[in-house]
Amino acid sequence: MRRLRLALVALALAGPAAAAVSVTAALDRARVALDDSLVLSITIAGDATFLPEPKLPPIESFSIYSSGKSSSISIVNGRVTSSIVYTYVVTPRGLGKFTIPAISADGATPSLPILVEVVKTAPKTPDDPGPAAPGAAGPPGTPAPRAEAPAPARPPDGAAPAMLVLASLDKARAIVNEQVTLTVRFLYSDGLRLVGDSQYEAPAMTGFLAEDLPPAPRNGLMTYGGRQYAYSEIKTALFAIQPGKLTIGPATVHVQVAQPISDPFGSGFLDSFFATARRGVVRSEPLTLQVDPPPPGKPADFMGLVGQLTARASADRTDVKAGDAVTLTLELVGTGNVKSIPEPAAPNLPALRFFEPESSVAVEKSNDLVRGRKTFRTVVVPRVSGVAVVPPYEFSYYDPVRRRYARAATAPLTLRVAPGPVGAAAAARGSAPAAPGVTPIAEDIRYLKTAPERAPLSASLSAFADLGPWHALPFAALACAALLDWRRRAADSDPRGRRFREARRRAEERLKAAAELPDSEAPRAAALAAEALAAFVADKLDVPPAGLTLKTAVEGLRALRRAPSDAALEALRAAWEEADLRRFAPGGVAGAEARRFADQTRDAIRALDQEIAR
Amino acid sequence: MTALLAALLALAAPARAAAPPDLAAARGLYDAGRYDEAAAAFESLAAAAPRDAALQYDLGAALFKAGRLGRATASFERAFALDPRDSDVRENLAFALRRAGEDLVPPGTPPALFWLFTALSERELAGLHWLCAWAALLLAAAAFAAPRRREALAPWAAGAAAVWLFFGLWWLGLRSVLPPSRGVVVAAKAELRHGPGETFGVAFIVPEGRRVRVLGASGAWLEIGLLKEGARGWIAASSVERLF
């Protein structure tokens, strides 16, 4: 538990300080009225992870109250730089010129002494409740408090205590990381005379992060339960770190009250010099706060801040060369626990390399509201030339005023990158010197087809596949060939019928051969024509041509299922007899006669072939 | 016979048309970074020549640059179907598919086997199938028609029939693995439902660019199967672009 003391406190040191630690002390002004307060700021700064606490020397002329502290830590390339500012409220106890002595810390260079002048002021009329009133902060006199007895939060019926501690919250319900203000007031009656150092013991605040709200204490006069009180007030900003019903323990004030000794003069004069001190403790009632988780609809990138936020990004320059460093500054300003804003993730850009950022935070507490500015600075190195755009950084938070999630985004930053020196890109990768090679920067699709060309064979095959009904042609050809073959095979299985069908073709072949013979071979041509006629009839009758006579031929033809007509038979007879005449005629045959006989024979064969059937 | 086939191929092969006059303009828009306009120009060109793999490739590149991953993937798929041996087409299709969480080579398949299997396009395989069919059938017809040369023609006809069978099976296999009823999801985070309507619950969220197989249709809804996950469901027809 953290203890804040209302009076001068000697602080124990946590351990040895780092080498380079300094202490700086400053007052907000050099002159102060007796009823007013000064703000003393003690800054401990150094490059150590753990900084020592300041050692306040005894300062008899002032009452000093701790008003909290604010820390800032940044880590750059593993080196820690931090500072803590301790704030105290200094209230003068008397008039005159005083010196606040040097303030030291373990292992640190002490600060310089500070001169301050305390002057008189005109008395003011106290208000209820109100700001510090003249003399209100000073310890009043009797009566003595109840020692070691906690004061009630509300006055009992008919009797208000001489002093009590009241604690309250500004809201009964909050969400995680939303600011809740705790107000602790130490009330003591006007007649009570406090002596020595009163000590304030902050309540147990498990589950909260706490920020003291200056100034502290705030003094004033008020009426409570019908009784006039002076009060000292301390306010603390709380940020719940977990949901649930959280309890804030009792706030405690340890006091010393002057107890008068017996005054034989009855004038009260001796009370001022010979009173004895009696220690006492007053406590507030514990408080409970219902803490809810973040409302539904939380964005995936919700970073937990409850307040209001603006974001701004800037670069120290926008025209650079590849390999040059650019400092990118990201400022987040807003209300709420800005310290809790996490470090933003660096964009994954192949053209830019982002180094680890350093952060700093400045917290301001005014009007009981915690606000601040968190700054991230990172070094960005362009890897390649061209236009590189740093995309917007987006931060999602919950706005308790508008009761909805909101998003603060920076504007995109455009860097115009000129080509850098050879090797700048490789250096930007931050790797050790290596053998020259190809440096992969980014993946992308390939470029357009500059010379679209398709293989002619591929196009022909595709087109051939699209012939459609034409693909039936080979099937039809195969079917025709198969049919032809079948018919051929069928003909081969009937030699008589085949001889009957082919009789005319064979006769025509003989007649053609006869016609092609020259006139000098007219007798042979006539013999071929006669042979053609005899062979035709023999084929039709399926008999050997050698023994065939005109009579047997006519009889055979008449015996066929479809016999020839008489005219056809007469033509046969005439041709047959002409053949016999030519065969046995003396002196041979002239060429013209042979051709006429061949024509006569052809006519007879055609007439018979058209009329007869088996 | 050879002369006849050559004549048929010559008749079937289309003359390569000269580049449309606005192809250069489309490329100019692309080079200027005006990807939406370039995509519109390439789209009109591709509509006039749907069998031109290069135009489908260019259209896919412009759509990809314009941030339309689903439609870009569909165009690259068409280019791949038309010209699967083009390394640029393969590279860009694989790149786009990786953006949608998918690989071009199916998991568990040796890449060499996949590349061999897809070395010929579906149309090329169909052409070879029909070419071999013509050869086998005409050789067989010749063998029937010329009994005296039957013994000489029969082995050629049998060989052509064997090649015909080989390409036929390859063709059918390719159509089974890469069916024409494919599509690509073109909507971001498209909802795959249990039925054809918004009254049915959402079963899956499908990322843009994911390849699907269209199994059926009902009104404005398509029943699709996810090639990678093997799941099926109903999706708004406007969320899917069919390849063919």
Q: What is the pLDDT of residue A19?
A: 46
B172 lies in the same domain as B217: no
Q: What is the pLDDT of residue A49?
A: 59
A286 lies in the same domain as A309: no
Bond into A217 cis (ω within 30)? yes
A180 lies in the same domain as A287: yes
The Cα of B116 is separated from the nearest Cα of chain A by a number of Å equal to 16
Residue B127: which of A461, A480, A488 has the nearest Cβ? A461
Cβ contacts of B41 on chain A, cutoff 8 Å: none
The chain A residue lying nearest B63, using CA atoms, is A445
A11 lies in the same domain as A32: yes
B170 lies in the same domain as B216: no
The per-residue pLDDT for range A376-403, each reduced to its tens digit, is 999 898 888 888 889 899 999 999 989 9
Single-letter amino acid, residue A597? F
Residue A338: closest CA among A376, A381, A292: A376
Last residue of a domain, one of B177, B200, B219: B177
Q: What is the mean pLDDT of chain A?
A: 78
* CATH code of residue B84: 1.25.40.10
Q: How many domains does chain A have?
A: 4
B88 lies in the same domain as B21: yes
Span A108-119, average pLDDT: 85
A316 lies in the same domain as A287: no
Question: When comparing pLDDT for B241 and A440, which is higher?
Answer: B241
Last residue of a domain, one of A380, A403, A428: A428
**Cβ–Cβ < 8 Å for B55, B42:** yes
B128 lies in the same domain as B95: no
**B92 interface with A at CB cutoff 8 Å:** yes
Q: Is residue A446 part of a domain?
A: no
Cβ contacts of A474 on chain B, cutoff 8 Å: 133-134, 136-138, 141
Q: Is residue A479 part of a domain?
A: no
* CATH code of residue A99: 2.60.40
* CATH code of residue B210: 2.30.30.40
Cα A562 to Cα A540, A556, A610, A613, distances in angstroms: 12, 11, 10, 5
The Cα of A493 is separated from the nearest Cα of chain B by a number of Å equal to 16
Residue A471: which of B121, B130, B145 has the nearest Cβ? B130
Contacts with A, B 71-90, CB within 8 Å:
83, 88
H or E segment and range at residue A52: none
Q: How many domains does chain B have?
A: 3
Q: Is residue A470 part of a domain?
A: no
Q: Is residue B210 part of a domain?
A: yes
Last residue of a domain, one of B52, B74, B105: B105
Q: Is residue B63 part of a domain?
A: yes
A31 lies in the same domain as A90: yes
B151 lies in the same domain as B187: no
Q: Are B61 and A447 within 8 A, CB to CB? A: yes
A288 lies in the same domain as A323: no
Predicted TM-score of the model (pTM):
0.48
**B170 interface with A at CB cutoff 8 Å:** no
A245 lies in the same domain as A329: no
Whether B170 has a pLDDT exceeding 90, the answer reads yes
Q: In angstroms, how far is CA A450 from the centroid of its own chain? A: 35
Cβ contacts of A467 on chain B, cutoff 8 Å: 8, 12, 130
Residue B48: which domain range? 17-105
Last residue of a domain, one of A383, A408, A428: A428
Cβ contacts of B16 on chain A, cutoff 8 Å: 454, 456, 459
Residues forming beta bridges with residue A248, ordered by sequence position:
A287
B28 lies in the same domain as B76: yes
Last residue of a domain, one of B105, B136, B158: B105
The Cα of A492 is separated from the nearest Cα of chain B by a number of Å equal to 13
A311 lies in the same domain as A400: yes
Query: For residue A20, what is the DSSP state?
Result: S
Query: For residue A292, what is the DSSP state?
Result: E
Q: What is the pLDDT of residue B183?
A: 94
Residue A534 buriedness (CB in 10 A; 0-12 / 13-18 / 19+): buried
Q: Are B144 and A485 within 8 A, CB to CB? A: yes
Q: Are B140 and A481 within 8 A, CB to CB? A: yes
- The rounded distance, in Å, linking the Cα atoms of A427 and A422 is 10
Q: Is residue A591 part of a domain?
A: yes
Q: Is residue A150 part of a domain?
A: no
Q: Is residue B3 part of a domain?
A: no
Q: Is residue A539 part of a domain?
A: yes
Q: Is residue B114 part of a domain?
A: no
**B51 interface with A at CB cutoff 8 Å:** yes
The SS3 assignment for A266 reads coil
Query: For residue A45, what is the DSSP state?
Result: E
A373 lies in the same domain as A276: no
B101 lies in the same domain as B141: no
Label residue A193 by pLDDT band (50, 70, 90).
Answer: confident
B68 lies in the same domain as B35: yes
Q: Is residue B137 part of a domain?
A: yes
Whether A308 has a pLDDT exceeding 50, the answer reads yes
A285 lies in the same domain as A345: no
**B186 interface with A at CB cutoff 8 Å:** no
- The rounded distance, in Å, linking the Cα atoms of B202 and B234 is 9
- The rounded distance, in Å, linking the Cα atoms of A411 and B19 is 44
A337 lies in the same domain as A402: yes
Token digits for A362?
């400045």
Label residue B132 by pLDDT band (50, 70, 90).
Answer: very high
Q: Is residue A226 part of a domain?
A: yes
Q: Is residue B113 part of a domain?
A: no
H or E segment and range at residue A448: none
Q: Are B123 and A461 within 8 A, CB to CB? A: yes
The per-residue pLDDT for range A215-247, each reduced to its tens digit, is 767 888 888 888 888 888 889 999 988 888 999
Span A428-449, average pLDDT: 66
* CATH code of residue A216: 2.60.40.10
Residues forming beta bridges with residue A80, ordered by sequence position:
A75
Residue A224: which domain range? 163-262+271-292
Whether A133 has a pLDDT exceeding 90, the answer reads no
The per-residue pLDDT for range A500-526, each reduced to its tens digit, is 888 999 999 999 998 888 888 888 888
The Cα of B200 is separated from the nearest Cα of chain A by a number of Å equal to 24
Q: Is residue A516 part of a domain?
A: yes
Last residue of a domain, one of A119, A151, A176: A119
A309 lies in the same domain as A410: yes
The Cα of B220 is separated from the nearest Cα of chain A by a number of Å equal to 31
